[in-house]
Structure formats: C-alpha cells, structure tokens
Amino acid sequence: MSASRGGSAAHAPGAGPTESGLSYAHGTSRTPLLGDTIGQNLDRAVAAWPDRDALVDVPSGARWTYAEFGSAVDQLARGFMGSGVAKGDRVGIWAVNCAEWVLVQYATARIGAVMVNINPAYRAHELEFVLKQAGISVLVATPAHKSSDYRALVDEVRPRCPELRAVHYIGDGSWDPLLNAAATVTEGELASREAELSCDDPVNIQYTSGTTGFPKGATLSHHNILNNGYWVGRTVGYTEQDRVCLPVPFYHCFGMVMGNLGATSHGACIVIPAPSFDPVATLHAVERERCTSLYGVPTMFIAELNLADFATYDLSSLRTGIMAGSPCPVEVMKRVVAEMHMDEVSICYGMTETSPVSTQTRRDDDLERRTGTVGRVLPHIEVKVVDPATGVTLPRGTSGELRTRGYSVMLGYWDEPERTAEVIDSGRWMHTGDLAVMREDGYVQIVGRIKDMIIRGGENIYPREIEEFLYGHPKVADVQVVGVPDERYGEVPLACVILRDPRDVLTLEELQAHCKGQLAHYKVPAALRILDSFPMTVSGKVRKIELRERFGA
C-alpha cells in the first residue's frame, strides 16, 4: 500500500501544540497522504491480497476475493466505457445496499466518471431535481424495494430529464447490455483512460439533506474520500484480517467512504448484511461471517441491543466498529463496549462536505474519552472552535462553531458557487454549523447545532446535554430534545421519549423529578411526548425539524 501499515500511527499525536490555549488543533503525522486515485489504490489491494475476501453479500450468498472483485470492477468499468460514458460524465446510483452498488462505486472511479449518490427515500420530485441538477446521463437503479417502485418513478420523470439517455436496473435484462458492452473495450483502452485521471478529479456527488429548499450536491474528489476512508480505517487498526459489517446505507459517506474505502484501502472485507437496516440480519451477518467490525448510527445499535434474543448471538469476533451519524449517547456506547465485545469501538464526527470525518476517538482511549467526546483531529486535518459571529478562535473550554480545513474539504457544491461560498470561507475553512467545545487535551465535544440551540428566556440550552442525562433514566430507551414555542420564555425544551418497555408509563412529573437537582432548572423539560419511533432520514439521523413542527404548534 502507499503508506505504512499497522496501528501505531493511529495513535500519533494529533492535537498539536497547546501552549496558546486556543481551540485549534492540527493533526500532525509522519505518514503522508495517499496520492492514488481510487482505481490505483484498488489495484494495490488486489496485488497484495488476491485470495482474501473483498466483498460478501450475505442475502444472496455471493462473495468475491480481491482478485475476483478487481476483475468484476474492470468488466463493469469497460461496460460503462463501451456504453459511451466519458471522463467527467455523471452516473447516478439509486439503489439500496447490494454488491452492484459497490461495483458501480469502484467502476465509475476507475474510468473518471462522477458517481452521483441518490437517496433511496427520494420520490419523483426529488429524483427529477437531482437528475437535472447533476446532469446525470446514465442511471443505475434498484427496480423496487419494499413499497417503492423505482421503475415507475423513473418512467414518470424521464420525459422531463433530456440528459438521461440510459437506465440500467440491477438484476434484470437492462443490466446485461451494460456488462456485454465490456467486450467492445480492451484492457489497454481502460488503462489509457485511467492514465488520464488525477487524484484531484471529482469522483462523487452526494446530496446533503437540507432542512429547507432543495439539497446541495457536495462534490468530492478521489483525494478527498480515499484518504478519509484510509485514515478512518487506519485509526481503528484495520488490516487484511478484518471483516467489516456495514448495515449503514452506501448512498451516504458512512457506508461508501468510511465503510467501503476504509476496508479496501487496508485489504479488509466488506460484508453486506441486508439491503436496508435490519437488526436481526445485522447480528446474523456478524455471527456468520465472523465480522471484526460493525458500523451504525446510535439508533441502529439501540435496536440491536433491544432485540429479545440479543444474548443468543455470538458476537465474540467483534473487536471494533464505528458509531457516528448523530450524537452518540454515553449509555448506549457503554453497552456496546460491554455487551457487543467492541472494546475498541470508535466515535467519528464529520459531515458530507468534509468527506466526512474530521475527528475520531482512538483505540487506546479510555472510556471517558470514547464516550464523552467525538475524539481528536485526524492526521492532515485542522480544526478550530470560533465565535460564529466574528470568526475569532476561542479559548479551549469555550463553546463556539467548529470549523475544519484540509484535504477532506469538498471541492464545492456542484454548479453552485454562491452556496459553496456560504460555507467555505476565503481561508478554505469549512463552517460546520455545529456547536463544539475543544477541551484542554484536544478532544472535541459536540454540544449541538447552532440551529438546534434552544434559547429560553435568554439562557442558551444545548439539547445534547439534556439528552445525555435522560438516557440514564431506567425507562428511557431513546430520547430527543427540541425547542418549542412558549409565551413566557420564548422557547422551552420538549423531551420526545421512546420507552424501553412500551407497557411502562412515564409522566412529565416523574421525568422532571429525575432532573431535579441534577440539571439547572431552565434545562428541565417543560413538556413530554411518548413516541413509538422518531422521524428519520435514510442515513439514520433524527429529523428534529419534524419533531419541532409536529409538537411546536
């Protein structure tokens, strides 16, 4: 591989000098960034570990060694070329997790096309917007999944999308012509195409789920996502011995960067447990494939831990994994470590626009750091906490906006320079919109979103702090706190709770009594709603805006 292996560099100092006392940290490292394209990096893995498993699709039972995976990627790459896909063309992927998704990811990268991830939850209006905004000429799609008929939705919007010239549905007759087109392109022609590519070329567009208006297409390069996947994998100590179970969606950075690229850049195996998240299928895959790593957002781990037969699964092969995507409750993290054998589990923090990870906990961190923070800055990245109004870097221990800079910051929003300029300043700092505190030891705590902060009678309240405390209540399985209007105080906190046992009864008075003497009076929830589930994005983030709209009237 392009950089030395092993776990030692993952623990290299990352916080930088602290003498200034300012909330700034630079991830120093003696190991250089990778200069490969994604295709070149895959070639290195195939050459180093041809006989090791690269990809296992548990639902179908299909599996590929690295040699077989490399051949399958090359065939699909030549198929795209043979069907007229040129360097820079946008190829859409609108599908649930499956082996073909992974093949499309690596095949498009190999020929210099730009893969556009399309959220499987999108309906016709949103699909049409993405097809037009990105200028997608070829679309790969799942024919249907659960109640979604993707074929019907494509047929509905296609007359209004003149640039869309070809659609290939995974697993049906339209897939065969794509593979057959490989016969018209030689290996030499594929190699010539690859020789034209730079690691700085755009390779991926991911649409961020905006809370208002249409989503924005974060445009990411080979250099962005290959290095981020590599360093995330290196930080949890991946080698060719690891097997990574990925119940998180591939359309999101968590799946395709931290998961797929994190695995292949270290020779590890990608394990697909199901087309979409299923707690039973996930634990079955871990047990059957002897996975060493498991990914998930907190709600996924909560669902797995709360299975009635959870204790019957053999999870002893697990040693690590990643919990990310939304704030990670301390109590859930402790259970994952204690009950799922994931002693080296890591928390990552990031956003699509930063490829995604900026900070991460380390394997040898103590439990407090691995449960109370989102880690410290990764190598070759800078982070700082600033006054959001002035941009001035704040002293450590002070809350402000987290900003990040380095190789991981996106190229920009696709074809939207004005919106790009709103979040990336002249110094190339990405404005995350997250409120954070950098501790004296360089570890970062996320205390909320600027837009989620509750202002009660002039007091700033960070929902995350209240949520962490309420997770300690014996009846609470999951909780989200949002601000709702109040005539006297302007806003007050509302606790939305999912109970551990649906037969339990939890009153507002009981919840407030639990908080009395433990939280400042203005942080104690003024209202309570008991829910069966939270509104979620496909990537597993709770839609707090929907909770505010539902209960804020």
Residues 6+ apart with CB under 8 A from 21: 395, 396
Encode pLDDT of 44-89 as tens digits: 999 999 999 999 999 999 999 999 999 999 999 999 999 999 999 9
pLDDT-derived band at 14, boundaries 50, 70, 90 = very low
Q: What pLDDT sits at residue 238?
A: 98
Dihedral sign for Cα 337, 341, 347, 352, please: negative
Distance CA 161, CA 163 (A): 6
CA distance 233 to 243: 12
Would you state the pLDDT for residue 12?
A: 39
Q: What is the pLDDT of residue 15?
A: 42
Q: What is the pLDDT of residues 308-366, one digit of tens each?
A: 999 999 999 999 999 987 667 778 888 999 999 999 999 999 999 999 999 999 999 98
pLDDT at residue 117 is higher than 60 = yes
> Cα-flanking dihedrals φ and ψ of residue 468, to 5°?
-60, -40
Q: Where are the alpha helices (DSSP H) in 158-278?
A: 175-180, 187-195, 222-235, 253, 262-264
What does pTM read for this prediction?
0.85
For residue 323, give both structure tokens: 């919990």
Among residues of the chain, what percentage have pLDDT more than 70?
95
Provide the mean pLDDT of the chain: 92
More confident residue, 371 or 306: 306
Spatial CB neighbours of 190, under 8 Å, sequence gap ≥ 6: 74, 77, 78, 81, 110, 111
Cis peptide before 356 (omega within 30 of 0): yes
Tens of pLDDT, residue by residue over 493-523, are: 999 999 999 999 999 999 999 999 898 888 9
Q: 209: pLDDT confidence band, cut at 50, 70 and 90?
A: low
Give the model's pLDDT for residue 553: 66
Among 15-19, 238-242, 520-524, name the most confident range.
Answer: 238-242
Is the pLDDT assigned to residue 370 strictly greater than 80? yes
Sheet architecture: strand order including 444-449: 24-26, 381-386, 400-406, 430-438, 444-449
How does pLDDT run across 82-101, given as a tens digit for each residue?
Answer: 999 999 999 999 999 999 99
- Annotation: CATH topology of 452-551: GMP Synthetase; Chain A, domain 3 (3.30.300)
Under 8 Å between Cβ of 95 and 120: yes
Quick count: other Cβ atoms within 10 Å of Cβ 167? 18
Q: List Cα–Cα distances, 336 to 329, 330, 369, 421, in angstroms.
A: 11, 10, 15, 40
- pLDDT tens-place string over residues 163-195: 999 999 999 999 999 999 999 999 999 999 999
Give the phi and the psi of residue 6 in degrees, each rounded to 5. Answer: 100, 175
Where do the structural domains in the chain lie, given as residue ranges? 8-438, 452-551
8-438: CATH topology: Rossmann fold (3.40.50)
Between 327-341, 401-415, 466-480, the lowest mean confidence (pLDDT) is in: 327-341
Please report the pLDDT score of residue 252 as a whole number: 93
Quote helix, strand, coil % in the chain, to nearest 5: 35, 25, 40
Q: What per-residue confidence (pLDDT) applies to 462?
A: 82
- What confidence tens digit (pLDDT) does each residue in 254-291 have? 999 999 999 999 999 999 999 999 999 999 999 999 99
- What pLDDT does 212 receive? 42
pLDDT score of 148: 87
